[in-house]
Structure 1
Amino acid sequence: MVVLYVLIALLVLGVLVTANWYLWRRLFRDTTARPGPVRRAGAAVIAGGWVLAVGALVAERAGAPFWLQQVLAWPGFLWLALSIYLLLAVVAGEIVRPLVLRVLARRKQAAADGRQEQPEPEPEAEPVHEPGPGPKSAPVPQPSRRLFVSRVVAGVGAAAAVGTVGYGTYGVLRGPRVKRVTVPLAKLPREAHGYRIAVVSDIHLGPILGRSFTQKVVDTINSTRPDIVAVVGDLVDGSVRDLGPAAAPLTRLEAPSYFVTGNHEYFSGAEQWVEEVRRLGLRPLENARTELPWFDLAGVNDVAGESEGHGPDFGRALGDRDTARACVLLAHQPVQIHDAVRHGVDLQLSGHTHGGQLWPGSLIAEAANPTVAGLERYGDTQLYVSRGAGAWGPPTRVGAPSDITVIELASTRA
């Protein structure tokens, strides 16, 4: 097993080294005529970016001093996002490059053919110029066609990558937008028609997203005037000591609020955070259920809690309930839907996927989750997956905008 892990690590390292060498080659070596400071600076930027990125990841996981996490997080995590789109841009450039070269070659050939067709002018006597006393100016060498194309493709690709990451970061920092979804439930009584649940997941408070971001989330939730709030995991990336002040605005949630753990809570001290959110006025549902006036609301721990002996227990949360009543389940990961189906849940509310967060990450998310975002039906159970309010790692989203979803329950008897 150890040998397998070593081989996988070496394979990943080889892929990263190759990808970054290719990035350096296209952005710096191929855009310069000869070795020099530009190539050395490019190598330093790429290597330094990865040092910061690895440092940010290690500092967060190792519980380094919070000030150090903050210093490393912004440049390190943004480099992760930027390197993805720089690589995609230079790969796309491989398609554009030969086309541009071909167009330029045809234009040059057409110009040469045009000169050959023109009649030669009568030779004229060239004026005689006396040499001046000053030094003669040497002709300025023009870059080759291939070098010119490399510079244009690299410049456009770099600009596109920076623009993409910049816009995606702005989208996260401005705060999540409200998404509204109507979900019909056959067992919901007519009196509960229009009942609203504000679903928020994956806020990921940490060294980048802090107290002001939490306040934006709270203000957005309160503006929708929900009946209850469901916080479905991955609230934090860090300890209560470091992030307690960042989470404090949750006390201003105006509707009754419920919380279940996500996998990142178990990286951050789940027991402490369960107590902290309880202190902030939220009710944790740890494999538990509460009977609301018109339906049951249940919650299960995240599967990551199994390593600590606190994994999901569907039997405890749902085993003795009245199955004639509608049941809404809070479960962080969409993969828990299969247990929900077996226990007769009507609607499961989840997060975890971020909708892929950084395209084409959605392709990986689709391979690992039954539903990446939105509403789908599994037998008699419906699953809604939020793309989440924040972001993990890079504070950037591309192709997966953040959201807070207002689920409006509809009675089929209305």
Structure 2
Amino acid sequence: MDTSPFAVVTEREPLSRRRFLGRSVKVLSCAAAGTLLYTWRVEPHWVEVVEWPLPIAGLAPELAGKRLVQVSDLHAGPIVDQNYLMASLEGIAKLRPDAIVVTGDFMTCDADESVGKAIEAMRALPSAPLGRLAILGNHDYGRYWQQEGAAGKLCSELEKLQIQTLRNEVASLGGLQIAGVDDLWTKNFQPEQTLRELATDRPALVLCHNPDGVDQPAFADYRGWILAGHTHGGQCKPPFMPPPIASVSNRLYVAGEYDLAGGRRMYINRGLGYAHRVRFNARPEITVFTLQRA
């Protein structure tokens, strides 16, 4: 009997091409299954809180350092998990918001059947000392973006929660002008009249759900920031490549900050919800802007 403390290594059978390919297929199958599971079960509800500076020309000193939280694209309704939405919105309280803006697509619906779920989710949104403002997105208008009754009912219910919906209107948050334009894909998109209401000698910020809207002529003379949503960050985005499917005409608009030249800058929020429960390299987002004097 061999009592040597060392293991005896015997010659192994060489790895054949067939065995190698078989093992490779198994590895690739496991990797693919893991990726599919991740894109379905993990990333769609893995919220990223993004901290971002927001320098604004002429900002009042008392607003410097204030925290403006942006939420977008909840898509409450038959697809997005309601408990996930409510927990995400409730968690905003920990971010100590001074103001909150919601940049559209509260719900996914044919008519007004999802208004109840949207309002139930929004009840979880914390209060904010300077106020809570919102605009509508294309999905808030229901099927073919033409259901005016659905949008109107949603706005009425949001008003009861003291969330002001700007439909081509301008409001003030502690002296900061906030202009909210209606959605580009609806017949109510009227940026010309909305931007004309902005006083040019006072700081301003524009909410525009669809980033394609900023390429319209009405925005040419505007100077300042635009906060948008709509894209979901592409929802599935290959690393270092643009998303294969995008809901914008300008395929450059995906997520994050964009320098639009002419004194305009835009930030696109990736949203909380989804059109289908799948996300890859485009995590849901809540953005916390710190207001700064430019």
Using the size of structure 2 for normalisation, the TM-score is: 0.80
Mapping for residues 129-168 of structure 1, pairs under 5 Å: 146=18, 151-168=22-39
Question: 1:188, CA displacement in angstroms?
Answer: 1.4
Question: Which consecutive unaligned segments of at least 5 residues does structure 2 have?
Answer: 1-13, 144-149
Partner residue, 2:59: 188
**Counterpart selection for 1:215 from 69, 78, 86:** 86
Alpha-carbon separation, structure 1, partners of 2:114 and 2:278: 22
Label 1:154 to 1:243 Cα distance change in 2 as closer, same or farther (>3 A).
farther
Alpha-carbon separation, structure 1, partners of 2:264 and 2:140: 27
Cα contact 2:82–2:117 (8 A) shared by 1: yes
**Counterpart selection for 1:317 from 169, 175, 194:** 194
Label 1:167 to 1:193 Cα distance change in 2 as closer, same or farther (>3 A).
same
Mapping for residues 56-71 of structure 1, pairs under 5 Å: none
Partner residue, 2:96: 225
**Counterpart selection for 1:262 from 120, 137, 152:** 137
Label 1:189 to 1:363 Cα distance change in 2 as closer, same or farther (>3 A).
farther
Alpha-carbon separation, structure 1, partners of 2:87 and 2:224: 31
Cα contact 1:389–1:403 (8 A) shared by 2: yes
Question: 1:388, CA displacement in angstroms?
Answer: 1.1
User: Please, which moves more after superposition, 285-294 or 402-411?
Assistant: 285-294
Question: 1:177, CA displacement in angstroms?
Answer: 2.4
**Counterpart selection for 1:330 from 171, 196, 207:** 207
Question: 1:398, CA displacement in angstroms?
Answer: 0.6
Q: Which has the larger radius of gyration?
A: 1
Partner residue, 1:376: 258
C-alpha offsets along residues 206-237 of structure 1, whole Å, 9 cap, x if unaligned? 22324312211222222111111111011211
Structure of greater relative contact order (alpha carbons < 8 Å, 6+ residues apart): 2
Mapping for residues 38-117 of structure 1, pairs under 5 Å: none
Instruction: Name the structure with the higher helix share.
Output: 1
Confirm whether residue 247 of structure 1 aligns to residue 123 of structure 2: no
Label 1:156 to 1:270 Cα distance change in 2 as closer, same or farther (>3 A).
farther
Instruction: Name the structure with the higher strand share.
Output: 2
Paired amino acid for 1:273: L
Provide the aligned C-alpha RMSD in A: 2.5
Question: 1:275, CA displacement in angstroms?
Answer: 2.4
Question: 1:359, CA displacement in angstroms?
Answer: 2.3
What is the number of equivalent residue pairs in this alignment? Answer: 265
Question: 1:372, CA displacement in angstroms?
Answer: 1.2
Cα contact 1:201–1:351 (8 A) shared by 2: yes
Paired amino acid for 1:248: E
Alpha-carbon separation, structure 2, partners of 1:408 and 1:315: 28
C-alpha offsets along residues 287-318 of structure 1, whole Å, 9 cap, x if unaligned? 11112332100101111212xxx2x1112212
Alpha-carbon separation, structure 2, partners of 1:227 and 1:369: 33
**Counterpart selection for 1:399 from 281, 287, 292:** 281
Alpha-carbon separation, structure 2, partners of 1:385 and 1:264: 17
Mapping for residues 291-302 of structure 1, pairs under 5 Å: 291-302=172-183
Partner residue, 2:237: 359
Cα contact 2:179–2:198 (8 A) shared by 1: no
Cα contact 2:234–2:245 (8 A) shared by 1: yes
Alpha-carbon separation, structure 1, partners of 2:118 and 2:167: 23
C-alpha offsets along residues 312-351 of structure 1, whole Å, 9 cap, x if unaligned? 1112212132101111111111111234642414110001
Identity %: 29
Alpha-carbon separation, structure 2, partners of 1:175 and 1:277: 26
C-alpha offsets along residues 373-405 of structure 1, whole Å, 9 cap, x if unaligned? 111221201100111112211x22111111100
Cα contact 1:251–1:281 (8 A) shared by 2: no
Cα contact 1:214–1:246 (8 A) shared by 2: no
Label 1:247 to 1:291 Cα distance change in 2 as closer, same or farther (>3 A).
closer
Question: Which consecutive unaligned segments of at least 5 residues does structure 1 have?
Answer: 1-105, 109-144
